[in-house]
Structure 1
Amino acid sequence: MNKKMLALTIAASLSLLGCDKAPKPAVDTGEKINLQAIYSVTQSDINKIAENLVVNYRVVTNIPTDKCDGKVADGACFEVELTFTAKQAIAAKDWTIHFSQIAPIQSFESDDFSVKHLNGDLHLISLKDTFSGFAPGEQKTLNFRAMFWSLAESDVMPNYIVSAPGLEARVIESTKPYIDKESGLEVLPHVETFTDTNTQFKRSAADKTQWLTSEKLYQRNAVLVEDKLAVIQAIIPTPTSVSIDANAGFVDISHGIAVSLGNVKHTEVDAAISRLAELGVKQSAKGLPLRLSIVSNNDKIIGSYSLAVTDKEITIVGVDGNGVFNGLQSLASLVTVGESRLPMLAVDDEPHFAFRGMLVDVARNFHSKDFILKLLDQMAAYKLNKLHLHLGDDEGWRLEIPSLPELTDIGAKRCFDITEDNCLMPQLGAGADENSSVSGYYSVSDYQEILQAATARHIQVIPSLDMPGHSRSSIKAMTARYKKFMALEDEAKAKQFLLEDFDDKTNYSSVQFYGDNTINACLESSYDFVIEVMTQVKKIHADAGQPLTRYHIGADETAGAWLESPACKAFVADNDKGVTKMSELGAYFIERVAGILSELDIETAGWSDGMEHTRKENMPAIVQANAWDALFWGGHDKVHQLANRDWQVVISSPDVLYFDFPHEADPKEHGYYWASRHTNTEKVFQFMPDNLPVHAEFWLDRQDNAYVADDTKTPLAPGQKFLGIQGQLWSENVRTDDMVEHKVFPRLLALAERAWHQADWAVPYNYKGAKYSSQSNTFTAELKAMRDNQWQLFANTLGHKEFAKLDLAQIDYRLPTVGAIIKAGKLHANIAFPGLTIEYQVNGGNWLNYQEPIAVSGEISIRSRSTNGLRASRITQVK
């Protein structure tokens, strides 16, 4: 880089740092720019600030004031008091703080600080001229207002970064998260605990959400009754039919099992047999005979099987290898860890949905290969068969593409690099270290290991590298590639895969508040990039033995992008492409990428909001659309529209299938909540995916108010069905593998139940169309009683049988908080999953096991403990 370019880069960098004293870049004097001559702060000062500045973040109120911008976000606005306390004197000036704040800041007041939004969630705090330093123990305050609401402590991002030009940035120690040793949960030390229901816990005066206290939880859990005999016979997910002879009893498997493969290939069942061994059911020549076979049956769905357990043998007959594998997993479901008997019964079973999926977002924050391998084990255990792996988004690109190393050299890392020539800026509170666990990628060999593990478990991996929106990581990586080859004076190679028009002056904002995250739909190099990436991904899959037959485009677009792009103005002026206005460019991009995929013999999948704008005649014959519109906003309409196109619709409703949402309504419950404040395992169990509008009869909107679902406008065409359902784990604020497991489990088991088994209490879809509300009563009291009885069995099965298996697999499933009341001086406690241990503490003393109501006095805390005793739940207090 020549000196003039260096000066320009430094000037641009200083501008992004918010430095008013940035030198002007007009001269190339040949002189070295001495940043320390301009800025008084030293590296020692930066280190001292990072060590000694104590940050405290307090949500003051979610009630908008006249200082809020009423024209934005329907006027929704919350206020924060951000305080800084110096443990030692800080005299230095000319330093700034970069921090992540999901909702952009609208206005602020401070005698010492200014704050502004940069891009995405990244914000900058700079010092005013009136800033005079910190005396020891002095506190300074910055009050600000931001869009929407802040209803959970996990909204706040960690790792505030203090920096100055020319010096090494440091993360402020008081904002670093840590892991609680007992619960394994992440703790943000700079976030002040919520205390007020009306100003902190609720969105508005119309918000009827109830803070889930231990007393309310006790009342909810009180309906559960233990039934250990039914648990022993239970299989999750529930089979189509189970026959049990009341006089049959149990068969002893203390000597293990003697497996006879018959006409089944060992590669088709090895993973399931290995799981049986991990649960204590070993192979032995002296064991109970286990006979496997495949008998084709065109009347049965792929993956169907029959299972019979007698006192003489176990037989599993599948319609294919997948069916035998599923039969083995049902056998494993009958196993109770630590016991050497199985109930004698006969099972005939087939899946309800062909597509039974789970999405994991590894793009926003990276999650390890080991975690994905563990997840595949558990997906297979509960008969889920599609892993939607979200590998590319604004904040990260997670798959090695050998021909485009910049994608992972730059796009897979977040660190403090204003130029973004070496990494992406630390969005989502990533911190300054490019080697932190939130950065990373799967090498070709890593990804192929995942593919091979999935194949062995009859799971299809559907990769997703989101485009044209949500593409900042790839855009910045390809821009870095451009700079590299331009420096080598190879302009053709520099522009080969360029994804942005440098002359585009469009001012836009994505849903996540980026102004530079959308691939330019008018550049041929954008499509060359897609071809190159997909050709590489297809080869990686083929070499791993799992052909790439379906790819998820994402199909997210950004409203307002490209409007001032000269490339797009010229493109639209040329009518040869059938695009006559800017608003058609997003659909054109998706249609063209779908065509590219078809030429590569790959089926197209995408999210409903982008896919709905495409012209059916320009799309392939087979299209998968993931429908993610909230039900309480009439989301069933769009789902039905897409299904009526004869597209393969995968239900992904956020009301119930977004596992990044909180399990319960409590500010300490982790997660976003834009569609639901409480999505616990029971709610997932209650889902009727074949009949979306009927949920208006018994579910509420995001403020716990009743809503109406009118299905007379766009009913499903007669006989139209959905392809399946998919759970989603988005990772914006999920930074560790353990936290992913806490979010996904045990909800994944209820997802599997609804994906595999059609409940007999589910209301059939009315193809004539109907209107549903809390008054319509299509879901009768009798059906509700059936559902609730089956939930009791499901909850007991998890607590008494399945959690022990998750513990053996080292899955950090969410342990439920405990319901409790003090009645007549005695502690009464219960739990959502009977079988788990309840512990209580009096006045901060030792933790004691709760067995039955016991006399207590003073301050009472309560929690649950895992079956292996290694983890505890979040602690709550009994009022």
Structure 2
Amino acid sequence: MTTEPNLIPRPSRIDWNGESGPFTGDVRTRVDPSLAPEAYRLTVSSGGAEIAGGDDAGVFWGRQTLRQLRGLDAFRRAPIEREPATVPYVTVEDAPRFAWRGFMLDVARHFLPKDDVLRYIDLLAAHKLNVLHLHLTDDQGWRVEIERYPRLTEVGAWRRRTRMGWGEPLLWDERPHGGFYTRDDLREIVAYAAQRHVTVVPEIDLPGHSQAAIAAYPELGNADVLDTASLEVMTDWGINPNVLAPTEAVLRFYEGVLEEVLDIFPGRFVHIGGDECRKDQWRASPTAQARIRELGLKDEDELQSWMIRHFDRWLAERGRRLIGWDEILEGGLAEGAAVMCWRWYRGGVAAAQAGHDVVMCPQQEVYLDHVQAPGDQEPVPFGWVHTLEDVYRFEPVPPSLAGTPHAARVIGTQANLWTEVAENRARVDYQAWPRLAALAEVAWSRLPAPDERDYDDFERRMNAAHYARLDALGVDYRRPSGPRPWQQRPGIPGRMHNKPRRPWHTA
């Protein structure tokens, strides 16, 4: 070995004099209170390995670095090499840049079985990502069992057919699609994640993206302006007008949902969506207009804010914290809420300057359902082109916050993968990897400014070692040369954005 070990994400400091040797398998671990939370110090020598962590999580992340040093057998389910691994004798000192290093997986549009979710927890942990944001409910499906409202899964977890792709021609998969996680399934997922120092953040979307819930319980919708009993679980994609009614009965219903969600998910944050809520029905609804007058609100945006504030207080009373998409800023932001910024940087900047914590995940940078290269070879082309280099040059703290006290309000970042056209594990793998490895380095490592980052070195480390690790893990990632034949989707229409992406430095 003639170069520094090919680690991803890159550690803060690596000391190596070129000496390597067999790994004995002896690993000694301890918690060192002098180290920061999640930080670790790894020393590998002829006598084995010692890992000191600032806490148990730090020890675990040190183990992940040692795993990379040990070679490909450490990523296989069973070893195939007969000889002990040869490892570099190094000292690694490391700590994460951000506390929130996440990945959002949409299991509402296309359901993924429990085992696939557990597998993704393993993949996140191997890359020192520590948040799995599960998008559990949407117009196209409700995926969490709620015992007091059984029709949410009896009806809301299934749709009769599914739109294939975007745009023209209209194509349909006429097979029913669905599935859901039982409460015990989700408890298992949470426990499995906790063992790997990954927090699972549930998302129950409201007041928009709620057609699956309304199909199950029509009284949740705006029955004074449409026949909610005729609604079915949505089979198409896009933003739809069928949103929750702003009534006390709906609040009580979702309080009941969230009581069971809190019983399953012990983490601090609960995501309530809040995005893409069309307010046409509220404008036409006598009930909604009466509620606006009763509460002394200015308009429908403030009506949505009233709903968000209600659940912010409700969660705070139970020791939890609300987080939502940046639309929750409209009409006034709930005092204790955190913001997940997806529409460029503007909402996140405003929230941080107002004293709210922010997770940066702009669609123009880190939406992994968007294509990975230009041209017609990418399966179901959608969105903007986000190459591996684009993701590597993503900067979660925008220039307008950098160097100010408000920068500390950016508590982290994540990549989001919506699954309208990612219908199974293989498609999710293709869209997520290798770009999620780049996001992991952005979230963990203290990198220079985007235009100063050494992408050539990152690409070298990927080619020298990390693609082989993904192969050993069984990840069906996009190869640098492009999609393999079975990864292509000929004939399935896509939809690309017409407007160019804005450069990061304008944020």
What TM-score do the two structures reach when normalised by structure 1?
Answer: 0.50
Q: Which of the residues 369, 372, 377 maps onto 1:663? A: 372
Per-residue deviation at 1:717? 4.6
Per-residue deviation at 1:515? 3.2
Q: Which of the residues 352, 356, 362 maps onto 1:653? A: 362
Structure number with greater CO (CA < 8 Å, separation at least 6) is 2
After superposition, what is the alpha-carbon deviation per residue over 1:683-724, rounded to whole angstroms, capped at 9, x for unaligned? 21122222x35xxxxxxxxxxxxxxxxx5xx88854532111
Which secondary structure does the structure 2 equivalent of 1:723 belong to?
A: strand
Structure 1 or 2: more helix by fraction: 2
Would the alpha carbon gap of residues 243 and 687 (structure 1) be closer, same or farther in structure 2, given more than 3 Å must change?
same
Which secondary structure does the structure 2 equivalent of 1:815 belong to?
A: coil
Would the alpha carbon gap of residues 427 and 439 (structure 1) be closer, same or farther in structure 2, given more than 3 Å must change?
farther
Q: 2-side partners of 1:650 and 1:725: how far apart? A: 5
Answer yes or no: is 1:514 the counterpart of 2:240: yes
After superposition, what is the alpha-carbon deviation per residue over 1:239-278, rounded to whole angstroms, capped at 9, x for unaligned? 11111124xx10212xx51xxxxxxxxxxxxxxxxxxxxx
Q: Which of the residues 247, 256, 262 maps onto 1:532? A: 256
Tell me the amino acid that sits aligned with residue 794 of structure 1.
F
Gaps of 5+ in 1: 1-227, 258-288, 417-424, 480-497, 542-546, 631-635, 694-710, 764-778, 819-862, 865-870
Q: 2-side partners of 1:381 and 1:715: how far apart? A: 29
Which secondary structure does the structure 2 equivalent of 1:296 belong to?
A: coil
Q: 1-side partners of 2:107 and 2:249: how far apart? A: 26
1:641 corresponds to:
350
Per-residue deviation at 1:313? 2.7
1:720 corresponds to:
407
2:146 corresponds to:
401
Whether the aligned pair in 1 keeps the contact of 2:352 and 2:406 (CA below 8 Å) is no
Structure 1 residues 685-724: aligned runs within 5 Å: 685-690=392-397, 692-693=398-399, 717-721=404-408, 722-724=410-412
1:448 corresponds to:
187
Q: 1-side partners of 2:2 and 2:245: how far apart? A: 61
Q: 2-side partners of 1:814 and 1:426: how far apart? A: 24
2:498 corresponds to:
none
Whether the aligned pair in 1 keeps the contact of 2:301 and 2:330 (CA below 8 Å) is no
Structure 1 residues 388-467: aligned runs within 5 Å: 388-415=133-160, 431-434=173-176, 438-467=177-206
Which secondary structure does the structure 2 equivalent of 1:245 belong to?
A: strand
After superposition, what is the alpha-carbon deviation per residue over 1:6-38, rounded to whole angstroms, capped at 9, x for unaligned? xxxxxxxxxxxxxxxxxxxxxxxxxxxxxxxxx
Per-residue deviation at 1:659? 0.4
Q: Which of the residues 234, 252, 269 maps onto 2:22? A: 252
Whether the aligned pair in 1 keeps the contact of 2:33 and 2:54 (CA below 8 Å) is yes
Per-residue deviation at 1:639? 2.1
1:624 corresponds to:
338
Q: 1-side partners of 2:163 and 2:376: how far apart? A: 25
Give the number of equivalent residue pairs. Answer: 466
1:748 corresponds to:
436
Gaps of 5+ in 2: 73-80, 166-170, 229-235, 491-507
Q: 2-side partners of 1:328 and 1:391: how far apart? A: 31
Answer yes or no: is 1:573 the counterpart of 2:287: no
2:76 corresponds to:
none
Q: 1-side partners of 2:460 and 2:252: how far apart? A: 54
Tell me the amino acid that sits aligned with residue 293 of structure 2.
A
Whether the aligned pair in 1 keeps the contact of 2:220 and 2:250 (CA below 8 Å) is yes
Per-residue deviation at 1:673? 3.6
Whether the aligned pair in 1 keeps the contact of 2:240 and 2:278 (CA below 8 Å) is no
Would the alpha carbon gap of residues 468 and 600 (structure 1) be closer, same or farther in structure 2, given more than 3 Å must change?
same
Q: 1-side partners of 2:464 and 2:237: how far apart? A: 43
Tell me the amino acid that sits aligned with residue 423 of structure 2.
R
After superposition, what is the alpha-carbon deviation per residue over 1:383-422, rounded to whole angstroms, capped at 9, x for unaligned? 1001100000110001111111101111110116xxxxxx
2:497 corresponds to:
none
Whether the aligned pair in 1 keeps the contact of 2:6 and 2:465 (CA below 8 Å) is no
After superposition, what is the alpha-carbon deviation per residue over 1:162-199, rounded to whole angstroms, capped at 9, x for unaligned? xxxxxxxxxxxxxxxxxxxxxxxxxxxxxxxxxxxxxx
Percent identity at matched positions? 29
Whether the aligned pair in 1 keeps the contact of 2:140 and 2:212 (CA below 8 Å) is yes
Tell me the amino acid that sits aligned with residue 586 of structure 1.
Q
Which secondary structure does the structure 2 equivalent of 1:562 belong to?
A: helix
Whether the aligned pair in 2 keeps the contact of 1:358 and 1:387 (CA below 8 Å) is yes
2:210 corresponds to:
471
Whether the aligned pair in 1 keeps the contact of 2:164 and 2:172 (CA below 8 Å) is yes
1:239 corresponds to:
11
After superposition, what is the alpha-carbon deviation per residue over 1:630-681, rounded to whole angstroms, capped at 9, x for unaligned? 3xxxxx333211111111111101122100011100223135543x2x2122
Answer yes or no: is 1:336 the counterpart of 2:71: yes
Per-residue deviation at 1:465? 1.4
Which has the greater radius of gyration?
A: 1
Answer yes or no: is 1:564 the counterpart of 2:273: no
Q: 1-side partners of 2:486 and 2:283: how far apart? A: 53
After superposition, what is the alpha-carbon deviation per residue over 1:452-501, rounded to whole angstroms, capped at 9, x for unaligned? 1101110110000111011111111112xxxxxxxxxxxxxxxxxx3123
1:551 corresponds to:
270
Q: 1-side partners of 2:395 and 2:300: how far apart? A: 39
Q: 2-side partners of 1:730 and 1:595: how far apart? A: 29
Whether the aligned pair in 2 keeps the contact of 1:293 and 1:324 (CA below 8 Å) is yes
